[in-house]
Amino acid sequence: MENDFATTDTTFRVFDPGDPNDPLDNVNLLRLMGNGNLVIAGSLTAAGTNYPSSVHLKEHFAPVDVQDVLARLADLPLTTWSYIADEQATPHMGPMAEDFYAAYGLGADNAHISPLDVNGVTMASIQALYEQLKGTQARVETLDRQQAELLARLVQLEQSLQQTPPKQP
């Protein structure tokens, strides 16, 4: 199978011409758009991926309610699935982009999930769980202290009862 190359003023394409008798049978294998977006029909294998994340590259900051993020995550449907075009039916696990977008409103659209957004939701959820854990630990410490105090009082009462002579009728 030979690949053909095509360029327009803003897009570079690599495509499989498919059936030469069918002009509509052109499968885009790779598109480098004029805006810098790269669209690949298939898998991308990389030794490492770095996402720009400097504060100097961002704007429109807003605080995050981590407990709300966690509550939404708890309600997010997760399934195992494979891509329709994957002949090996490689199994994956996660939410559907439509559900993720409905829950968080993050990303470019409801058909894709950005790893950056998944990381953000994961980090917020971990922070929420840590807050809950600290609260639980504080409650356990309080209960342990109360239990120790009650046990000490019980021991004192038992000792006092043992030292008190029985009443004569």
SS3 track for 59-125: CCCCCCCHHHHHHHHHHCCCEEECCCCCCCCCCEEECCHHHHHHHHCCCCCCCCCCHHHHHHHHHHH
Same domain, 82 and 19: no
The answer on 76 and 137 residing in a single domain is: yes
Residue 126 lies in a domain: yes
- Regarding whether 97 and 37 lie in a shared domain, the answer is no
Query: 27-32 and 38-40 as β-strands: parallel, antiparallel, unpaired?
Result: antiparallel
In this structure, the answer to whether residues 119 and 36 fall within a common structural domain is no
Statement to judge: residues 83 and 128 lie in one domain: yes
Same domain as 85, residue 35: no
pLDDT value, residue 39: 80
pLDDT tens for residues 123-166? 999 999 999 999 999 999 999 999 999 999 999 999 998 887 77
Residue 5 and residue 70 share a domain: no
What size, in residues, is the chain? 169
Give domain status of residue 140, yes or no: yes
Report if residue 129 sits inside a domain. yes
Q: Residue 52 falls within a domain, yes or no? A: no
- Which residue range(s) make up the domain with 22? 1-41
| pTM attached to this predicted model | 0.72
> Do 10 and 90 have their domain in common?
no
Query: Comparing C-alpha atoms, which of 7, 26, 1, 23 is closest to residue 15?
Result: 26
- DSSP lists the bridge partners of residue 93 as 80
Sign of CA dihedral 10, 40, 106, 102: positive
Counting the structural domains of the chain, the total is: 2
Q: Average pLDDT, whole number, for the chain?
A: 87
